[in-house]
Amino acid sequence: MDFELNDEQKMFRETLRDFADKEIAPVAPEWERTGRYPTEIVEGLRDLGLFGLNVPEEYGGLGADRVSYALAFEEIARAWLGAAGLFGPHSVACVLIARHGTAEQKERYLPRMATGELRSGICLTEPGAGTDLQGIATAAVRDGDHYVVTGAKTWITNARVAGVLPVLVKTGRAERAHEGMSVLLVDTSSPGFRVTRDLPKLGYKGPETCELVLDEVRVPVAGLLGGEEGRGLQQVLGGLEIGRINIAARAVGVAQAAYEAALGYSREREAFGRPISDFQAIQLKLADMATEIQAARLLTYWAADRAETTGGRVDMEAGMAKMYASEVAIRCALESMRVHGGYGYSAEFVVERLYRDAPLMAIGEGTNDVQRLVIAKALVSGGGRLGW
């Protein structure tokens, strides 16, 4: 049992931390406030190869192990959650194509996705279907060598900058709903594909999050992910599982930033002639935050390592990590605000942004209540167990 990162992972983490501290953290407050798109950060992520985290080396990607994958999101989110969103959904799209794509699809998309030349996201949620993906209404009707796609999607991150989007659609009727669902790789320049608006958000500023319409968009049959209808729900659930590891890691990064802000402020702020870090009430908050963050971090790395070593589904482990880490991020953001007192409510201090960002992780990639059901199902069925 080894709780240490290997030398390659340590070097990767230090490179990421240096980039985040120098290139992201200094500009995040102003760019978040003004809604400025972080083009320069995108270029930096390209230079680091982060768009190719989940692209195999044979296609020009990093082919990173899952722990390194988690490290990337933790370190970038620690500086600014929005910056992690620039390549988060893209990384899940890469998983879908790398795992399930045909040879032609991999050759066509993965090399350009690895460099960030071609950007992507995941196109699942609809105005009437979020948690229950089997309730989607977007339909794809076969017409010769094309599918004609009609429907609407919402909460799609990076929709305006994506060149291709994996879109979950219904390609047929089946006794069991999931058997009629497929994923189509949609070229966003196709006639009928239209981003209708950017959704206003409490936090998670930086990347755009959009509603879009597909109005009889023609997608070549060659764009059917894996070349087989009826596999879509299984494909996206496997991708979301890896996505939950990145959400858990982002939550750890936000929680770490909240803790660091509280610790630093407590050492500088004085009350009654002493730094407030001398007061037991503050010390108890810091101790609880530090302990919960480390527990969340280890749970996240454990889920990532299990995904790497088993090569199979880790629904329970990823669900545990995402659920716990996201709740820790929310608690730590609030506790950090309390340590800051009135200044914690000011937009001049980073904790105000962290407090707005943290709730996203409890919702994104499947709500925490859904994660509890996933965990319980694994335990009750015997497919998951505690201990070694």
Of the candidates 126, 317, 327, 365, the residue annotated as catalytic is: 365
| Alpha-carbon distance values, 92 to 306, 321, 365, 372 (Å) | 18, 17, 11, 22
Question: In the chain, what is the straight-line distance between the N-terminal and C-terminal CA atoms, in Å?
Answer: 10
CA distance 83 to 157: 12
Amino acid in the structure at residue 380? V
208 is catalytic: no
Angle at 193 between CA 190 and CA 199, to 5 degrees: 145
Residue closest to 338 by CA, chosen among 272, 250, 276: 276
Per-residue buried b or exposed e for 340-367, using 16+ beta carbons within 10 Å of the residue's own CB: beeebeeeebbbbbbbbbbbbbbebbbb
* β-pair partners for 275: 270
Whole-number Å distance between alpha carbons of 39 and 315? 34
Cα-Cα-Cα-Cα dihedral sign, residues 273, 279, 283, 286: negative
C-alpha closest to that of 259 among 287, 299, 296, 278: 287
Nearest Cα residue to 371 out of 327, 322, 330 = 322
The residue written with tokens 């407030």 in the block is 276
> Which residues partner with 170 through β-bridges?
139, 181
Tell me which residues are annotated as active site. 365
